[in-house]
Amino acid sequence: MSSEIDFLWDLHSAFEFSNSIGNSHHLIPMLQESLVPLMKSLKLKNILVIKRDSSTSELSVIYSIKEYEGITEISEALDWLSSLVKKGTETIDSHLPTRPGDINNSTAIWPLKDFGYLLLYADALNYSESFAKSLSIPLQKLALACKNCELFEELDMERKKFEALFQSSNAVTALIDREGRILDCNERFKILAGDARHLLANMLIEKVDFINSKSEKKLLSKAISEALEKKKKQHLHINSFFNGRNYHFEVSLTPLHFEESNTITVLLEAYDVSRVYELQEDLKRESNLLRTVIEIIPDAVFVKDKEGRRIISNKKDAEFAGAESNDEIIGKTNAEIYPPEHAEVFTSDDYIVLQEGTSVINREHFFINKKGNVYWLQMSKVPLLDENGQVYGLVGISRDISQIKELIRDLKYRADFEMLLVELSASFINSVQGELDEKINKALERVGRFCEADRVYVFQYDEPGKVMSNTHEWCAEGITPEKDNLQMIPADIIPQWHEKLQRLEIIHIPDVQKLPEDWQTVKEILEPQGIQSLVVVPMVVNERLVGFAGFDAVRFKRVWSEEDIKLLRIFGDLLAVSIDRKWTDEKIYRYNSSLEKINNELNRFAYIVSHDLKAPLRAINNLSEWIEEDIGDKLEGETKEQFKLLRGRVRRLENLINGILEYSRVGRIKSRIESFDITKMLSELIERLNIPPQAELKIQKTEMSLYSERAALEKVLGHLIQNGIKYNDKEIPVIEVSWLDHGKEIEFIVKDNGEGIHPDFHEKIFLMFQTLKARDEVESTGVGLAIVKKIIEDKGGRIWLESTPGVGSTFHFIWPKYEKKETLLNV
């Protein structure tokens, strides 16, 4: 048992002291030894070590090379760190180590893992990234050294306590005569005697209370007798229950012959070894506990001797090795346990630890054991040192990080896939008409190669959704294309397939051969194409199924992960939007072609109207003038008035034709969009209008710039101003033009003091050929306000009227402040 205790103690001590970077096992001397040279070499003014309590997270400065109280920069850094600690570990990790200037220009804080923090102070700190990287490893060792020193000091304190306990404990001593009576005893004996201490003189030893078992009393009496008779020292063990506890005494009986009195007595020395027995029981329990803990640890734990043979191992260690039990690997070397290629790597690490005394931390190995099980192992090994600092073995821990590696791989795969989808999305968005088919084919190839599919394709439904066709396809090298064989297929030929897609569900078939009987039709279609596994994702636009994208595995079976399927569905949505855009572009192209055709027809109609209709009117007007010139002296009375009325009707019909032509051109024929000031534009417009001299125009003087079709706005304002003068019964017509800024729009207001309009006609006046007075009374085509309304509505605005008969009318209309130039996207 003692050798096991020694081994455990040495193992524990060596493990704790293995990473010390100072020569002292005590914290403050070690810090002084380690940090003073660092301060000098870095030309710092001070270095502080800050301890973080593991349970309360309280911070305390445990060491400072120089006095730091009253230094503003250090106080500021300590306050900053204290505030950061309260926010939690994740916040601390993201802020440390600090760079000069993060807190102030004189301090920087570095983490001491699992211990606390290191604060550097100088007049002005400045260091490079390479310095920061090079300093991180020594600080990790310093953190380990701090922890080791703490543990050592705790152990040293416990050791001193135990040593003091054993050194101060005296044997229970008594002098016994032949009859077994107590002649004398020491204080320890008296203490055990308790209340009977004053009765000890000449008391029989068997009457002492702390030896209360009859068998133990007889055993003691017998041993005393033998010591006296044989005159030879006797030894025995006494176990006694006393004062509510179990005592164990190692007793020695030494016969003493006093020549002066010619008496023989026995010196009884009883050593209380109860604590030893208790410790042995505790060690048994702790040993069992340690073994249990080692076994339930999810990592492999092992200990090797100087020759690299395993002497301690847990179940996980045996599992990694491919062994059925620990017994198979105890006492064996790496070469006897692992395949040669891995044994060589592990032995190389062992050599660094056992021969050089250097720890190997978090070394990653890709490992296949003798059973063929594959692992990614993260392994750490540290040397075991004896009391002389010599390496006598190592302790190691191996952790299975396969899942972490797989997670990292999956995250990278997803990130790369998402980036690919972003690139494809940008490509689709930036494509012009006619490029989309080529870009879809290229996208199928890129996605197919990325996710290692053998065939990727797109099926589109016709408008009713009754027929589907393979419109795009990419095949890996050596895979037969099927696009030409899959055209105009009735959607209901495979009802299970069609119904699932109609519900916008994904079809995932890991093994075509294992399809259920009700899917045999699907199997009969897929097998001739060599498909072993597939995933099909619906392509949906506005909750309407427009097609589907498929991903075939032909060369081998494949089970697609949920993450893969999610990403493929996103790709399907991207394809759906792109194809829908293609359809939209094609419709727009057809609509534009139709509009262009209609415009051409309207232009031809306008030509006919302006030439073929107006030519006879001019001829009638000219003919009437010639007749009047030839027989003018003979025309009189009603005949003369009829000729005059004839020419008026011709001019009215010509004006009506011009108005209709102008109305037809609104929205079709655009003038230049430009930036202009409203006030200046109105001034130039009024100069061109035939304004009677008695009329008074009031124009708002506020500067306001527009970016719009100036000619169209001039036409609207010109009509409204001229109407306000034309239909005015006042001696001095007054026209007021103003505007209100509504952000993206302008509200124009044209007010006159004319006759006014009854509310019954507020809407009718904007209709074609509507006039308020007979045309013989006031010459008018009834087209002007209809043109005004059409121009305004073409700009996305509206016009309305406020009027009181006899007082005047106020026209309001909305006009855009910034008008976009027409493109294919905003037609």
Q: How far apart are alpha carbons 443 and 451 in whole angstroms?
A: 12
Q: What is the largest CA-CA distance in the chain?
A: 197
Who wins on pLDDT, 93 or 728? 728
Residues facing residue 245 across a β-bridge: 242
Beta strands (DSSP E) in 273-319 are 300-305, 310-313
Residue 385 token pair: 């040192």
Q: Which residues have C-beta within 8 Å of that of residue 676, sequence separation ≥ 6?
A: 705, 706, 708, 710
Could you give the domains of the chain? 4-166 (3.30.450.40), 169-279 (3.30.450.20), 297-400 (3.30.450.20), 409-665 (3.30.450.40), 669-816 (3.30.565.10)
Mean per-residue pLDDT for 592-615?
63
Kindly indicate the confidence band of residue 370, based on its pLDDT and cuts at 50, 70 and 90: confident
Residue 320 CB neighbour total at 10 angstroms: 23
Q: How far apart are alpha carbons 252 and 274 in whole angstroms?
A: 16
What is the phi/psi pair of residue 505, to 5°?
Answer: -100, 155
Q: Are 417 and 567 in contact (CB under 8 A)?
A: yes
| pLDDT tens per residue across span 485-526 | 888 888 888 888 888 888 989 999 999 999 998 888 888 889
Residue 6 token pair: 């020694």
pLDDT, residue 20, reads 40
Mean per-residue pLDDT for 440-461?
90
CA-based Rg of the chain, rounded to a whole angstrom? 53
Over 90: is that where the pLDDT of 413 sits? no
Positive or negative: CA dihedral 308, 312, 318, 324: positive
Q: Are 190 and 201 in contact (CB under 8 A)?
A: no
Per-position DSSP letters for 779-791, written without gaps between them: ---S-HHHHHHHH
Q: How far apart are alpha carbons 92 and 82 in whole angstroms?
A: 10
- DSSP 8-state assignment for residue 112: E
Over 90: is that where the pLDDT of 358 sits? yes
pLDDT, residue 818, reads 85
Who wins on pLDDT, 383 or 276? 383
Q: How far apart are alpha carbons 192 and 527 in whole angstroms?
A: 95
If residue 6 lies in a helix (H) or strand (E), which one and from where to where? Answer: helix 2-17
823 in helix, strand or coil?
A: coil
Kindly indicate the confidence band of residue 284, based on its pLDDT and cuts at 50, 70 and 90: confident
Kindly indicate the confidence band of residue 810, based on its pLDDT and cuts at 50, 70 and 90: very high
Q: How far apart are alpha carbons 548 and 44 in whole angstroms?
A: 68
Residue 678 token pair: 């409203």
Q: How far apart are alpha carbons 590 and 595 in whole angstroms?
A: 9
Q: Which residues have C-beta within 8 Å of that of residue 299, sequence separation ≥ 6?
A: 316, 397, 398, 399, 400
Cis omega (within 30 of 0) for bond into 97: yes
Angle at 795 between CA 793 and CA 796, to 5 degrees: 65
Q: How far apart are alpha carbons 145 and 578 in whole angstroms?
A: 62
pLDDT, residue 536, reads 93
Mean per-residue pLDDT for 751-778?
68
Per-position DSSP letters for 70-115, written without gaps between them: T-HHHHHHHHHHHHHHHT-HHHHHHH-SPPTTSS-TTEEEEEETTT
Residue 185 token pair: 């005893």
Residue 222 token pair: 């017998």
Length of the chain: 827
pLDDT, residue 511, reads 93
Cis omega (within 30 of 0) for bond into 816: no
The β-bridge relationship of strands 734-741 and 696-699 is parallel
Who wins on pLDDT, 587 or 299? 299
Q: How far apart are alpha carbons 472 and 379 in whole angstroms?
A: 51
Mean per-residue pLDDT for 538-560?
89
Nearest residue to 575 via CA among 439, 432, 450, 420? 439
Q: How far apart are alpha carbons 214 and 139 in whole angstroms?
A: 65
Q: How far apart are alpha carbons 586 and 584 in whole angstroms?
A: 5
| pLDDT tens per residue across span 136-150 | 767 777 888 888 888
Residue 243 CB neighbour total at 10 angstroms: 10
Q: What is the dihedral of CA 571, 572, 575, 580, to 10 degrees?
A: -140
520 in helix, strand or coil?
A: helix
Who wins on pLDDT, 25 or 55? 55
Residue 373 token pair: 């099980």
Residue 728 token pair: 């005015």
Residue 823 token pair: 């493109």
What is the phi/psi pair of residue 48, to 5°?
Answer: -120, 140
Q: How far apart are alpha carbons 397 and 417 in whole angstroms?
A: 36
Q: How far apart are alpha carbons 747 and 741 in whole angstroms?
A: 7
What is the phi/psi pair of residue 709, to 5°?
Answer: -85, 100
Q: How far is CA 557 from CA 5, 477, 534, 560, in A?
A: 58, 17, 9, 10
Q: How far is CA 805 from CA 708, 709, 719, 750, 769, in A?
A: 34, 34, 20, 16, 22
pLDDT, residue 613, reads 56
Nearest residue to 413 via CA among 261, 295, 603, 560? 560
19 in helix, strand or coil?
A: coil
Tracing tokens 């500067």 back to the chain, one arrives at: 703
pLDDT, residue 555, reads 92
If residue 649 lies in a helix (H) or strand (E), which one and from where to where? Answer: helix 638-665
pTM of the model: 0.42
Q: How far apart are alpha carbons 825 and 811 in whole angstroms?
A: 33
Q: How far apart are alpha carbons 595 and 459 in whole angstroms?
A: 32
pLDDT, residue 295, reads 82
H/E/C letters for each residue in 310-349? EEEECHHHHHHHCCCCHHHCCCCCHHHHCCHHHHHHHHHH
Positive or negative: CA dihedral 617, 621, 624, 626: negative
Mean per-residue pLDDT for 275-304?
85
Q: How far apart are alpha carbons 306 and 394 in whole angstroms?
A: 8
Long-range CB pairs of 98-105, under 8 A, 24+ apart, other chains included: 99/132, 100/124, 100/125, 100/126, 100/127, 103/73, 103/76, 103/77, 104/73, 104/76, 104/77
Q: Are 748 and 801 in contact (CB under 8 A)?
A: no
The β-bridge relationship of strands 374-385 and 544-553 is unpaired
Q: What share of the chain is helix, strand, coil (3-state, %, to 5)?
A: 50, 25, 30
Tracing tokens 């009318």 back to the chain, one arrives at: 809
Judged on CB neighbours under 10 Å (0-12, 13-18, 19+), 186 is middle
Q: How far apart are alpha carbons 726 and 691 in whole angstroms?
A: 10
pLDDT, residue 635, reads 59
Q: Which amino acid is at 630?
A: D
Kindly indicate the confidence band of residue 4, based on its pLDDT and cuts at 50, 70 and 90: very low
Residues facing residue 550 across a β-bridge: 457, 536
Average pLDDT, the chain: 80
Over 70: is that where the pLDDT of 13 sits? no
Over 70: is that where the pLDDT of 605 sits? no
Q: Are 492 and 498 in contact (CB under 8 A)?
A: yes
Q: Which amino acid is at 92?
A: I
Q: Are 512 and 527 in contact (CB under 8 A)?
A: yes
Residue % of the chain over a pLDDT of 90? 19
Q: Are 366 and 398 in contact (CB under 8 A)?
A: no
pLDDT, residue 586, reads 72
